[in-house]
Amino acid sequence: MSAGTDDEDDQSLTLNTKQEPGQIKVLKKRKHSSESPTGQLDFEMNNEARKRVKPAGSVAPYRTTEGRLRSDKSLLPAEIWHRVFTFCHPRVLGLSLQVNKSFNAYIDPSSTARPVVPSSKYVLQLLSPDAIWRASRLLFRNGMPGPLTGKSELELWRLACSSRCQFCGKMNSPGTVDQWHPGPGENGVVRVWSFGVCSCGACLEKNTTKEIDLLLSSAIASPLLVALPFIFFTNEYHVLPPHTLQSGQPPSTIQITKRFLNAQIEAIKEEFESARCLGAATAEEWLKGLEERGKEKKADGARWERWESTGGVLSMRHSDDGGLANSFNVEASPL
């Protein structure tokens, strides 16, 4: 290109600048943007954030005053976390119990943290802790029995993963196990599924009553006993399953008694008194259903006895779960 041509271009640029002063501003803006490629984008994002700023008090707790999400994601709405937890492994749920008070309230039905308040801004509904645990169990532990009657999903996991007596805190130290000495004995701790407890031998004896003592006592009406589960307990502090008694005669040194859990005895007595207060006809109908109720209770415990005998409880505690007992902190928080 010749020098003359360059001079003409310079004159043309000067002339256009003089005739269109507005374009100078446009060019200057574009030049500033080219000098900082992200400058215009940052400007637009900050401007958009300022538009979203709401008056104080109307900003969601999980957002900053500029409208951005806070770094603490546990502040997100409970409805969102409830859905997230349904896709978590039981081990993750167990660990989440110890993260903060909010998570504990979401997944522990006995939590004393502040109540979870639903938000009117979301279509999602709050889920109960039991619903969250049930969804996790069905997703990752399909085939595992449901919780015992009167137990929550979390209480069932804690019972299955515990190695400590829930009454005195004694740790399990099992001795020699055979047909007539399955545990707990003097030093062991076992789960008694029909009672829904984890206990050592001494506490089991202390918290149960012999059948003969109940029959000779006026403290409870004998017809009520058909609704209660029971165990066969030896003088050596061992709980014998029914099939052991059917397999042969016990050694002469072993004495076997039939025992009922004191807590369940008191509960059935209170129910009976409540039914009597409603009239004789109501009490009579209530008594008619006790036998069927007792069968259901026995079947309920038998489900978990079978599951434990096939290694199901052991797999819950260890195996691919990496030690679920530690996740639930059952040693620090017995049932």
pLDDT in tens, 278-300: 999 999 999 999 999 999 999 99
Q: Report which secondary-structure segment, H or E, holds 49.
A: helix 39-52
Whole-number Å distance between alpha carbons of 136 and 275: 38
- Please give, one letter per residue, the 3-state secondary structure of 123-135: CCCCCCHHHHHHH
Alpha-helical (H) ranges within 74-223 are: 78-85, 90-96, 101-107, 129-140, 153-161, 201-206, 211-215
Least confident of 267-271, 297-301, 319-323: 319-323
Residue 25 has pLDDT above 70, yes or no: no
Residue 29 has pLDDT above 50, yes or no: no
Which pLDDT does position 180 carry in this prediction? 94
Give me 40's structure tokens: 């215009």
Which pLDDT does position 37 carry in this prediction? 52
Average pLDDT over residues 8-24: 47
Average model confidence (pLDDT) across the chain: 82
Residue 8 has pLDDT above 70, yes or no: no
Residue 239 has pLDDT above 90, yes or no: yes
Q: Is the peptide bond before 184 cis (omega within 30 degrees of 0)?
A: yes
Pairing verdict, β 208-210 and 256-261 = antiparallel
Distances 85 to 97, 258, 273, 303 between C-alpha atoms, Å: 11, 43, 42, 27
Q: Where are the domains of the chain?
A: 73-140, 172-311
Alpha-helical (H) ranges within 255-289 are: 262-277, 280-288
57: region left, alpha or beta (phi > 0 left; psi from -120 to 50 alpha): left
Which pLDDT does position 39 carry in this prediction? 55
Least confident of 9-23, 58-72, 152-166, 226-240: 9-23
